[in-house]
């Protein structure tokens, strides 16, 4: 039998070096040129077929087996976030205002580690492995759909993805069948009133007060119009109006997010937001504009592929747990619309190492030992999918 954990453990130091290098040179979504070139250089040392650019800036590496096994795709993302890093570590970001605060540097190191182990076991490769290195996950519309449109899933039977997760302890694998992550919508709303002096509010149409009324009314959409056993979130993240304490402004702006798992509920929330604004318009003689942007699809794991993830974790003695429903978004969902597949989380949280800060925090970091667990999970998935078979003696 293959000892995938030992093989992954042997690659740990190499993966740490790769991850720390990428961590020092993060690049924002759709601007990952140096990162792209670094991955290409690493892959050039292997015997896989490499295609790039796929979509705008993606890379697809294919290992072709000798048998009649399936074609399985594995995906990693490699973009960073506009955050100033606060960690005092030797591999701290050298790019001011940019940071790998979500673990994508680790995802890339993991998939490159998988590639090196596949390279050393080509004689056992019964099927084909497609490694997808994706750009632009953090910003809609995301890179996945562009890569799909450019054929990254051509001839692929199933696809699996992984995300390092600081909220779960190192050495654990989390996934679930069916819905797992939500659709992350965005909205931008402007209320246009009539400005004037703060001492004469009766001569104005105060957009600040009306915006406050809108925000309070919007909070009732989830609590009073949606079945309590279903999930939805409406959150406001930005409110902006005025420039002086004694001036009522002409307009007020808000931005926020809606998270849902169901298209019907998604459309319901969007419609309700607009109806509230219509009512405020009639009652207060305002005008308004609403730009509602539907986000990534919900991550919806295929039951068969979810079972493979669970069995793989159990077979290599990792602690498998069913993931909770999560209101975060992931553009891995677009792959799942085209091919069966599943997404799993690899715990990388360790309070003793300070790696339990939330994702997108300026102090986010990963327990680098988690990378070998993700690698061994990926490789065991490939074995269970009959991509690897024991070589004949």
- Is residue 215 in a domain? yes
Q: Are residues 217 and 165 in the same domain?
A: no
Q: Are residues 37 and 145 in the same domain?
A: yes
Q: Are residues 124 and 161 in the same domain?
A: yes
Beta-sheet strands, E only, within the chain: 49-54, 58-63, 71-77, 128-134, 158-169, 172-175, 178-181, 183-192, 196-197, 232-241, 247-248, 251-260, 287-293, 299-301, 319-322, 341-349
**Phi, psi at 84, each rounded to 5°:** -80, 120
3-state secondary structure 295-334: CCCCEEECHHHHHHHHHHHHHCCCEEEECCCECCCCCCHH
The question of whether 274 is a catalytic residue gets the answer: no
- Is residue 389 in a domain? no
Which of 261, 293, 325 is the last residue in one of the domains? 293
Q: Are residues 325 and 274 in the same domain?
A: no
User: Distance from CA of residue 241 to its chain's centroid?
Assistant: 32
pLDDT at residue 87, rounded to an integer:
97
Query: CATH number of the domain that 269 lies in?
Result: 3.30.70.360
Contact between 72 and 381 under an 8 Å Cβ cutoff? The reply is yes
The question of whether 285 is a catalytic residue gets the answer: no
CA distance 129 to 110: 15
- Is residue 349 in a domain? yes
Q: Are residues 152 and 188 in the same domain?
A: no
Q: Are residues 159 and 266 in the same domain?
A: no
Q: Which residues have C-beta within 8 Å of that of residue 237, sequence separation ≥ 6?
A: 255, 256, 257
Which of 293, 308, 332 is the last residue in one of the domains? 293
Q: Are residues 87 and 15 in the same domain?
A: yes
Which of 278, 293, 308 is the last residue in one of the domains? 293
Range of the domain at 323: 4-179+298-384
- Catalytic residue, chosen from 137, 138, 206, 356, is 137
Q: Which residue is it, tokens 């056992």?
A: 124
- Is residue 308 in a domain? yes
Q: Are residues 189 and 149 in the same domain?
A: no
- Is residue 197 in a domain? yes
What are the residue ranges in the chain where pLDDT is below 70?
Answer: 391-393
pTM to 2 decimal places: 0.94
Query: CATH number of the domain that 134 lies in?
Result: 3.40.630.10
Contact between 159 and 306 under an 8 Å Cβ cutoff? The reply is no
- Catalytic residue, chosen from 32, 77, 79, 206, is 79
In eight-state DSSP terms, residue 246 is T
- Is residue 173 in a domain? yes
- Structurally, the chain folds into a number of domains equal to 2
Q: Are residues 230 and 289 in the same domain?
A: yes
Contact between 188 and 200 under an 8 Å Cβ cutoff? The reply is no
Q: Are residues 206 and 289 in the same domain?
A: yes
pLDDT at residue 390, rounded to an integer:
77
Q: Are residues 202 and 263 in the same domain?
A: yes
Q: What percent of the chain has pLDDT over 90?
A: 98
Q: Are residues 170 and 250 in the same domain?
A: no
- Is residue 392 in a domain? no
């Amino acid at each position: 039998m293959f000892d995938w954990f030992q093989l992954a453990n042997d690659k740990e130091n190499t993966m740490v070096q790769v991850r720390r290098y990428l961590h020092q040179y993060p690049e924002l979504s759709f601007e990952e040129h140096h990162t792209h070139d670094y991955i290409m250089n690493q892959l050039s040392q292997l015997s896989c077929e490499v295609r790039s650019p796929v979509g705008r800036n993606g890379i697809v590496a294919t290992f072709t087996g000798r048998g009649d096994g399936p074609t399985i795709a594995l995906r990693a993302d490699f973009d960073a976030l506009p955050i100033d890093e606060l960690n005092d570590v030797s591999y701290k970001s050298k790019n001011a205002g940019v940071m790998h605060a979500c673990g994508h540097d680790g995802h890339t190191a993991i998939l490159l580690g998988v590639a090196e182990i596949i390279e050393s076991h080509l004689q056992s490769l019964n099927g084909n492995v497609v490694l997808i290195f994706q750009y632009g996950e953090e910003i809609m519309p995301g890179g996945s759909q562009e890569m799909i449109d450019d054929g990254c899933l051509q001839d692929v039977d199933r696809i699996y993805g992984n995300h390092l997760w600081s909220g779960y302890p190192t050495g654990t694998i989390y996934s679930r069948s069916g819905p797992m992550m939500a659709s992350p919508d965005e909205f931008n709303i402007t209320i246009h009133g009539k400005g004037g002096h703060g001492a004469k509010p009766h001569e104005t149409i105060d957009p600040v007060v009306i915006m406050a009324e809108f925000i309070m009314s919007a909070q009732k959409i989830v609590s009073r119009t949606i079945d309590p056993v279903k999930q939805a979130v409406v959150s406001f993240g930005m409110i902006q109006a005025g420039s002086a304490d004694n001036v009522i402004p002409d307009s007020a702006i808000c931005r926020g997010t809606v998270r849902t798992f169901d298209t019907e509920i998604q459309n319901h929330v969007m419609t309700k937001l607009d109806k509230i604004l219509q009512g405020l318009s009639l009652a207060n003689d305002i005008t308004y504009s609403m730009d509602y942007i539907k986000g990534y699809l919900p991550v919806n794991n295929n039951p068969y592929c979810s079972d493979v993830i669970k069995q793989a974790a159990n077979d290599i003695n990792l602690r498998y747990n069913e993931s909770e429903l999560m209101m975060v978004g992931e553009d891995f969902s677009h792959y799942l619309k085209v091919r069966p597949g599943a997404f799993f989380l690899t715990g990388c949280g360790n309070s003793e190492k300070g790696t339990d800060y939330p994702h997108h925090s300026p102090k986010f970091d990963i327990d680098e030992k988690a990378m070998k667990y993700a690698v061994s999970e990926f490789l065991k998935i490939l074995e269970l999918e009959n991509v690897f078979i024991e070589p004949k003696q």
